[in-house]
């Protein structure tokens, strides 16, 4: 009986051991299966999807260092904070950004439609007025005499047509005039008197002086030289009392009723300008003053300083509103109409390397587009490539949009040459700044790679007080800094975050 009890006890022990072994194997298999499932779940969650919301994540970043992107969540290597996700439905991809309509209204954003229009193949230029040299008159004397009185006192003096310039005393006129008067008093016949008149004309005595001689019976020894044209005394070469000789130029009078307009043609348009093209000029100081004309001739040579070609035309100035040297806004009209794609000139942002226009997509997102610009047509600019007829573009507030987008790290800066990478790169997209910043904090931890501080706010970066690790320039740098010390430190942004450049006790150097 006792043997049977012992056998039964042994059998129960064996069964219990078998059950334990089976349970262990089952538990091990279940644990392996659960681990595989966890791995799958982890892989799925790292596939740029937020496990809390299920929204697609483009990348994670530190808002304080938005240029550096990470492909999975975690703690920021720069700050004592978690990385923040940037979602695809927030406009972080290449399709642009989406800004709340209320914010757009607050920013004062206006839109314009790209349109195709038939315009003349002309262009805008600048011009200056000059004296019409073909209208200049020369005042000369044909006899020897003396300036008895000078009415024009200085060059560039305005003068009317027929106004006196100088009174000239001619002694050589006295003898032939007295001879003529003696013949007339002696009752000589008409042939002798006519011969005396011919002699006076040969001596350059004007017919007016001879008529005054016959009328008054007295010799005329003075003659007044007058202006032949209304204009300006451009040259005055004599003074009162000066002796003059035959052929000497006393003065020059430049007329103002007609002026030359010299138009500066850009070198790139030199081959498209031809004589006969119509010009519409507006005085820059008074836009109501408009003048029209046609290009008369193209002056040879390109200016080495302004790289422009000069075209000359004549404009009417009968009202004498213009004077030489005035700046004119010129529109040179083309000979035929050309179809052009136009946008408001204020919609084009010239960065120096390229021209950019912010386009509004069909879903309301805003996206920068590089364009090739042509000539300006009034207040509009021709677009050669980059846009289509009917596109909606931002006409104002572009830089505010750029700033808003940069805060979200979803729109590349407009002055960059290429678009910012939005993939899972862990490298910064731009060189680090060289500016330094400084603050005071308590040393929490020191390692060969970095030092962790609980520091005060950094107003220059907009940082509040926080705990953060700063990298060391070398493993043996700042060897005398210990945890618990209050220090003043200086740092700068580097390729690896923020790097210390100086650390010293808050009271000064050791």
| Stretch 65-74: mean pLDDT | 77
Which pLDDT does position 332 carry in this prediction?
86
| Stretch 369-389: mean pLDDT | 86
Q: Is residue 132 helix, strand or coil?
A: coil
pLDDT band at 216 (very low <50, low <70, confident <90, very high): confident
pTM, two decimal places = 0.44
Which pLDDT does position 260 carry in this prediction?
92
- Tokens in use for 158? 């305005």
Which pLDDT does position 463 carry in this prediction?
82
Residue 442 has pLDDT above 80, yes or no: yes
For residues 73 and 223, give the distance between their C-alpha atoms in angstroms, rounded to a whole number.
104
- Beta pairing partners, 441: 455, 487
Residue 305 has pLDDT above 60, yes or no: yes
Which pLDDT does position 451 carry in this prediction?
92
* 137 sits in which H/E element: strand 136-140
Please state the length of the chain: 510
Lowest mean pLDDT: which of 3-7, 116-120, 373-377, 426-430?
A: 426-430
Instruction: Report CA-CA distances (Å) from 277 to 15, 331, 337, 346.
Output: 113, 10, 13, 29
Which pLDDT does position 90 carry in this prediction?
59
Which pLDDT does position 320 carry in this prediction?
84
Residue 286 has pLDDT above 70, yes or no: yes
CB atoms within 10 A of CB 118: 9
Q: Can you state the angle between helices 190-202 and 174-185, rounded to 10 degrees? A: 170
Residue 21 has pLDDT above 80, yes or no: no
**CA angle, 436 as apex, 431 and 441 as ends, to 5°?**
125
Which pLDDT does position 399 carry in this prediction?
63
Bigger pLDDT: 494 or 430? 494
Residue 477 has pLDDT above 70, yes or no: yes
CB atoms within 10 A of CB 305: 5
pLDDT band at 507 (very low <50, low <70, confident <90, very high): low
Residue 245 has pLDDT above 70, yes or no: yes
| Stretch 483-505: mean pLDDT | 88
Question: Could you tell me if 80 and 498 are in contact, meaning their C-beta atoms sit under 8 angstroms apart?
Answer: no
Bigger pLDDT: 46 or 438? 438
Q: Can you state the angle between helices 207-216 and 174-185, rounded to 10 degrees? A: 40
Question: Could you tell me if 263 and 330 are in contact, meaning their C-beta atoms sit under 8 angstroms apart?
Answer: yes
Tell me the per-residue pLDDT of 131-163, one tens digit each, with 9 for 90 and over.
988 888 888 888 888 998 888 888 888 888 889
Question: Could you tell me if 283 and 328 are in contact, meaning their C-beta atoms sit under 8 angstroms apart?
Answer: yes
Instruction: Report CA-CA distances (Å) from 452 to 61, 76, 238, 468, 499.
Output: 20, 13, 90, 5, 12
Residue for token digits 């590089």?
370
| Stretch 219-234: mean pLDDT | 86
Which pLDDT does position 55 carry in this prediction?
76
- Tokens in use for 502? 């100086």
Mean pLDDT in the chain? 77
Question: Could you tell me if 206 and 218 are in contact, meaning their C-beta atoms sit under 8 angstroms apart?
Answer: no
Residue 35 has pLDDT above 80, yes or no: no
CA 163 to chain centre: 51
Which sign does the torsion angle of CA 40, 46, 48, 50 carry?
positive
Q: What is the SS3 assignment for 462-482?
A: CECCEEEEEECCCCCCCCCCC
For residues 425 and 60, give the distance between their C-alpha atoms in angstroms, rounded to a whole number.
10
For residues 454 and 168, give the distance between their C-alpha atoms in angstroms, rounded to a whole number.
99
Which pLDDT does position 465 carry in this prediction?
84
For residues 392 and 394, give the distance between their C-alpha atoms in angstroms, rounded to a whole number.
7
């Amino acid at each position: 009986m006792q043997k049977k009890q012992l056998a039964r006890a042994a059998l129960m022990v064996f069964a219990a051991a078998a059950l334990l072994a089976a349970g262990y194997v089952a538990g091990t298999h279940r644990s392996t299966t659960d681990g595989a499932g966890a791995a799958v779940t982890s892989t799925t969650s790292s596939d740029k999807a937020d496990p809390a919301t299920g929204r697609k994540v483009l990348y994670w970043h530190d808002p304080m260092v938005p240029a550096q992107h990470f492909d999975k969540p975690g703690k920021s290597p720069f700050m004592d904070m978690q990385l923040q996700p940037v979602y695809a439905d927030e406009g972080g991809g290449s399709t642009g950004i989406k800004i709340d309509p209320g914010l757009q209204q607050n920013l004062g954003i206006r839109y314009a439609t790209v349109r195709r229009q038939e315009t003349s193949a002309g262009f805008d230029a600048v011009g200056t007025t000059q004296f019409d040299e073909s209208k200049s008159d020369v005042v000369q004397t044909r006899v020897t005499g003396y300036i008895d009185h000078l009415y024009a006192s200085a060059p560039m003096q305005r003068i009317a047509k027929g106004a006196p310039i100088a009174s000239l005393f001619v002694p050589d006129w006295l003898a032939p005039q007295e001879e003529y008067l003696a013949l007339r008093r002696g009752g000589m016949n008409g042939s002798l008197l006519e011969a005396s008149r011919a002699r006076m004309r040969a001596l350059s005595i004007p017919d007016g002086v001879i008529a005054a001689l016959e009328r008054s019976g007295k010799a005329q020894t003075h003659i007044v030289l007058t202006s032949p044209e209304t204009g300006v005394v451009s040259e005055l070469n004599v003074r009162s009392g000066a002796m003059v000789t035959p052929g000497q130029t006393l003065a020059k009078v430049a007329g103002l009723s007609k002026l030359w307009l010299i138009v500066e043609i850009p070198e790139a348009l030199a081959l498209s300008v031809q004589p006969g093209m119509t010009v519409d000029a507006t005085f820059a100081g008074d836009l109501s003053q408009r003048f029209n004309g046609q290009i008369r001739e193209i002056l040879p040579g390109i200016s080495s300083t302004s790289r422009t070609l000069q075209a000359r035309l004549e404009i009417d100035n009968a009202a004498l509103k213009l004077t030489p040297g005035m700046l004119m806004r010129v529109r040179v009209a083309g000979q035929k109409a050309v179809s052009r794609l136009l946008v408001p000139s204020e919609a084009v942002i010239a960065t120096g390397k390229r021209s950019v226009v912010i386009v509004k997509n069909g879903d309301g997102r805003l996206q920068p587009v590089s364009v090739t610009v042509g000539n300006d047509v009034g207040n509009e600019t021709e677009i050669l490539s980059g846009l289509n007829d009917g596109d909606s573009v931002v006409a104002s507030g572009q830089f505010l949009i750029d700033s808003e987008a940069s805060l979200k790290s979803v729109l590349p800066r407009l002055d960059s040459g290429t678009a910012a990478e939005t993939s899972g790169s862990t490298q910064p997209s731009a060189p680090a700044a060289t500016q330094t910043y400084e603050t005071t904090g308590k040393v929490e931890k020191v390692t060969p790679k970095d030092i962790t501080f609980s520091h005060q706010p950094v107003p220059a970066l907009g940082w509040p007080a926080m705990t953060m690790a700063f990298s060391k320039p070398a493993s043996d740098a700042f060897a005398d800094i210990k945890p618990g010390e209050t220090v003043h430190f200086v740092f700068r942004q580097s390729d690896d975050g923020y790097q210390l450049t100086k650390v010293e006790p808050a009271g000064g150097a050791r």
